[in-house]
Copies of this chain bind each other. A is one copy, B any other.
Amino acid sequence: MKKRPFGLAVAQLGPIDKEESRASAVQRLHEMMREAASRGADMVVFPELALTTFFPRYWMTEQEAQARYFERTMPGPETQILFDTARELGIGFYLGYAEISAQGRPYNTSILVDKNGDIVGRYRKVHLPGHSDHKPTAPFQHLEKKYFDVGNEGFFVWETMQANIGMCLCNDRRWPETWRMLSLQGADIVALGYNTPSVNIHWPEPTHLRMLHHLVTLQSAAYQNCVWIGAAAKAGLEDGSHLIGGSVIVAPTGEIMAQAQSEDDEVIFCQADLALGDTFKQHVFNLAAHRRPEHYRLIVDQVGAGEPLGRAPVD
């Protein structure tokens, strides 16, 4: 039995300075968690890499990055308060951070924590953007492919807090495969954190396109997969590099139901009717009735773009 409506909050973060401590960043998250709970939230979505600056913009050794920016335990000493407060207030949360696994591998990770303060799910980012080499002429680096391993676990939905909740991270949202993996597991809500630079380091892309792509992608994904999306940015001018804001809650109708107004710490909230997606799931996007996987083989059989396969009809 699903809880309807579901109090969905998104807590956008303003910039985190390179020198800002974990404790300070966690304090900001903690304040927003209390605000979200006071507004009736069942869950609050925090950004990707929400404990530090977006360090993949800097060139350094993997060892240095791991020493400064990664977590070896979760909860750890600084983050324990978030778990304690979740249990105290009865609010779940999604949190992105840089993880060193038990096996010593580095991942760009998010966790899903329930109202008891227990970690019920973990997601390790699959679609790492950027590059692993040093680009001396770029205005900044985007070294996610250097500092992180590709997520080794895949895409999942968890049944928790009386809803089916999926997770993804940042660049994953641009890949329709992400969303389909989650709707095939019956997701009602997808939580997403992101850090999206305003500047494309590869070509002078008009800045307004970055926000257009973000919003259009989420609206389309919510609609086509009949899910609510809670998307939390780290935003604003961080160490001289600008990140877009635009944290949003999007309904399965494809409509934006709440949007952040600032590029700073800001909570947005929506009483999400989880049944709103049901009519889409039963008709236009009844996956069982309409999907034709026999015609989708290339999606798993081929990685990159190949040649046109069309031939002239023979009868």
Contact = CB atoms under 8 A, between A and B. Distances in A.
Interface residues on A, range: 35 or more
Assembly stoichiometry (copies): 2
B313 A154 contact: no
Nearest to A120: B312
Contact of A295 (B126, B291, B309): B126
B121 A313 contact: yes
Contacts of A181: 295-296, 298-299
Interface string A176-197: 1101110111110000000000
Interface stretch (A6-14, A57-65, A277-285): A277-285
A202 interface: yes
A223 interface: yes
Contacts of A293: 299-303
Contact of A300 (B171, B224, B296, B312): B296
A255 interface: yes
A101 interface: yes
Contact of A224 (B174, B186, B285, B303): B174
Nearest to A217: B220
A292 B156 CA distance: 15
Interface string A196-226: 0000101101000100110011011101100
